[in-house]
Structure 1
Amino acid sequence: MLMFLARRLAATVPVAVIVAVIVFLMTRLAPGDPAGALVGNAGTSADIDMVRQQLGLDRSLPVQFLHWAGQMLSGDLGTSYFLKRPVTELVAQRIEPTLSLAAVTIVLSVLIALPLGVVAAWRKGSLIDRILMSFSVMGFSVPVFLIGYVLIWLFALQWGVLPVQGYARLGDGAPVLAWLRHLILPSVTLSVVYIALIARVTRAAMVEALGEDFIRTARAKGLSVPRVLLRHALASAAVPIVTVVGLGIALLIGGMVVTETVFAIPGLGQLSVDAAISRDYPVIQAVTLLFSAVYVIINLLIDISYLLLDPRVRY
């Protein structure tokens, strides 16, 4: 077990380095010049060159990367080119809405998708199974922004039961009910694809588990259907389900950018969109690296969870 954990921890180091290099190169090689955006249309070539020198963009890429990497290792994410504020401060202000949206979405998705997948596997080939799987296909097919606009039209514009946009900060003393009401529509929007993914994998894993000999033995002993499904079959299918829940974080991160934009939620996704439009390199690099670090950590936790879910991994 110790060797397993050591290998997984050691593997995160080169991954983190590669991610840092890719993030840096993506920002530098993308079209657009932040110096030109800062100077504006009225600026001259001399003005642009002066701003590039002030920002350190006139240096070679290796020198820029080493300078940025040194800042990152010391905990300094740099200063926003346009807002003139430390990136750590901007991230700290925007992290609560993003974490709230992610947490509510994950909880909602798991609570809905697991029962759907279990029921579909239990009634394999039935009308319920076909309906649930059709919903999964639809969840993958419909764009996130379209789902968001439909929900806004129904629940906000037509029925007026939920707010259209914005976010109520718990850190600013907002009531929990107001916080939750602002998160319902974006969480449901973001969870549709996530629910479809988890439900399909849960169904496939459960169908395979229900065909095993120990399930037939449990049924022969007269165990109830809920006990057979939850205690035996679902426990056996836990590894692929946990894997897809973790890997689905990638879908969640990508959809979060769109969802925060549609619902005007002042989170990290909205911050990254604004930074990309203005070519604010420090903000783009910090937010992208943060999302990448979260994804790497989630995968590490998934690998560690295998030790608890599948004893064979320990040996």
Structure 2
Amino acid sequence: MGKFLVRRVSRAVFVLLVTSFGALVAVTEWGDPFRMIGDRMQDPQTRALLNETFGLDKPLFFRYLDFIANLATGDLGVDYERRRPIIDLITAVAPNTFRLALTALAIQAVFGVTLGIIAGWKHRSFVDLAITTGSVVLLSIPLFVTGVTLRNTVTDISLFGWQPFPPIPRSFGLETTWLQDLALPAITLGMGGLVFTVILTRGSMLEVLESDYIRTARAKGLTERKVIFKHAARNALIPVAELSAIQLGALMGGSIIVETIFQYRGLGFLFARSMVENNHPVMLVVAAYSVVIFVVVLMLADIVTAWLDPRIRVD
């Protein structure tokens, strides 16, 4: 187990270094970070002072080393647009993305696992056909189409004078609760990952139902419901748990499309706004944060899975 941990952590560190360097290169090639200043301040002296202040006069490799060192110390710098510390921007929106990720994952897990178990249990029946067909249809719909459809059809609906989903964009001075802001983005993200959970659960159920211990349980006279939900479903959920960890890592990184559609104040919306403003430091930090979260969660999922199943430790 010790060698497996060393290998897995080493791979995670390597992935983080490579992806963070790629993010730095991509952000550098995005465009002029000071174009918002205006033509009157574009003289050579001003540009040279700005480049020196923000370290843009250094070669790319040394800027990368400075960026890694700043990430390690927690000094994320300031954004170009408002001159606010980036750490304040991240801490203000990260809890919203964390709440959104957990809610979307709960939707995927509850509905996806339930439908997958039923589809596997009722294999080759009309119920199985309806669930699998619905999953394929849902998978074929792009995520932004689902989000835009919900935004255009559900928001601004009034029920006895109460608006459960306020209009987007928000009216000035309109106060909303965190649940109102969270509901539609979470449903959209949950529907986006629901299909994979259904398909994986169904396939895992079909494999488990062919196992010898399931046939033994049935031979002992156990009811079909007890065989399915006490013996088969428990073992079928092992690969689903690993998929959920991967989905959680991806969701915690922030969903740019969904958060932008619903103007949800999370990491994805912060990244999209920074792209419009050409705000290089914020773009880079959010991208690095997203990669770190995804890689760390995936690494922890691999370690837990290897601890449960020793066969995975062998390369």
Query: Distance between the aligned counterparts of 1:246 and 1:282, measured in 2?
Result: 29
Q: Deviations over 1:58-79 (max 9, x none)?
A: 2211121122222122111111
Task: Give, in angstroms, the shift of residue 311 of structure 1.
Answer: 5.5
Q: Scaled by the length of structure 2, what TM-score is found? A: 0.87
Q: Deviations over 1:149-192 (max 9, x none)?
A: 322333323455522368xxxxxxx99xx432332211111111
Task: Give, in angstroms, the shift of residue 2 of structure 1.
Answer: 3.8
Q: What is the aligned partner in structure 1 of residue 23 from structure 2?
A: 23
Query: Distance between the aligned counterparts of 1:153 and 1:131, measured in 2?
Result: 28
Q: What is the aligned partner in structure 1 of residue 303 from structure 2?
A: 304
- Kept in 2, the 8 Å contact 1:162–1:182? The answer is no
Q: What is the aligned partner in structure 2 of residue 12 from structure 1?
A: 12
Map residues 178-189 of structure 1 onto 2, 5 A cutoff: 178-189=177-188
Query: Distance between the aligned counterparts of 2:308 and 2:117, measured in 1?
Result: 18
Cα 1:309/1:219, change in 2 over 3 Å: farther
- Kept in 1, the 8 Å contact 2:155–2:167? The answer is no
- Kept in 1, the 8 Å contact 2:249–2:295? The answer is no
Q: Deviations over 1:115-134 (max 9, x none)?
A: 00000111112111121112
Query: Distance between the aligned counterparts of 1:71 and 1:226, measured in 2?
Result: 56
Task: Give, in angstroms, the shift of residue 107 of structure 1.
Answer: 1.1
Q: Scaled by the length of structure 1, what TM-score is found? A: 0.87
Q: What is the aligned partner in structure 2 of residue 163 from structure 1?
A: 165
- Kept in 2, the 8 Å contact 1:165–1:264? The answer is no
- Kept in 2, the 8 Å contact 1:165–1:265? The answer is no
Q: What is the aligned partner in structure 2 of residue 171 from structure 1?
A: none
Query: Given residue 166 of structure 2, which amino acid in structure 1 is its aligned partner?
Result: V
Cα RMSD after superposing both structures: 2.6
- Kept in 2, the 8 Å contact 1:5–1:304? The answer is yes
- Kept in 2, the 8 Å contact 1:164–1:263? The answer is no
Query: Distance between the aligned counterparts of 1:112 and 1:13, measured in 2?
Result: 35
Query: Distance between the aligned counterparts of 2:307 and 2:60, measured in 1?
Result: 44
Q: What is the aligned partner in structure 2 of residue 40 from structure 1?
A: 38
- Kept in 2, the 8 Å contact 1:114–1:202? The answer is yes
Task: Give, in angstroms, the shift of residue 314 of structure 1.
Answer: 7.0
- Kept in 2, the 8 Å contact 1:114–1:199? The answer is yes
Q: What is the aligned partner in structure 1 of residue 172 from structure 2?
A: none
Secondary structure, counterpart of 1:231 in structure 2? helix
Query: Given residue 24 of structure 2, which amino acid in structure 1 is its aligned partner?
Result: F
Secondary structure, counterpart of 2:155 in structure 1? helix
Query: Distance between the aligned counterparts of 1:145 and 1:255, measured in 2?
Result: 15
User: Which ranges of structure 1 fall in alignment gaps of 5 or more residues?
Assistant: 167-173
Cα 1:183/1:44, change in 2 over 3 Å: closer
Query: Distance between the aligned counterparts of 2:75 and 2:223, measured in 1?
Result: 57
Query: Given residue 15 of structure 2, which amino acid in structure 1 is its aligned partner?
Result: V
Query: Given residue 295 of structure 1, which amino acid in structure 2 is its aligned partner?
Result: F
Cα 1:199/1:309, change in 2 over 3 Å: farther
Cα 1:308/1:226, change in 2 over 3 Å: farther
Equivalent residues, number:
305
Secondary structure, counterpart of 2:255 in structure 1? helix
- Kept in 1, the 8 Å contact 2:249–2:298? The answer is no
Q: What is the aligned partner in structure 2 of residue 225 from structure 1?
A: 224
- Kept in 2, the 8 Å contact 1:202–1:237? The answer is yes
Q: What is the aligned partner in structure 2 of residue 169 from structure 1?
A: none
- Kept in 2, the 8 Å contact 1:120–1:203? The answer is yes
Q: What is the aligned partner in structure 1 of residue 262 from structure 2?
A: 263
User: Which ranges of structure 2 fall in alignment gaps of 5 or more residues?
Assistant: 169-174
- Kept in 2, the 8 Å contact 1:186–1:260? The answer is yes
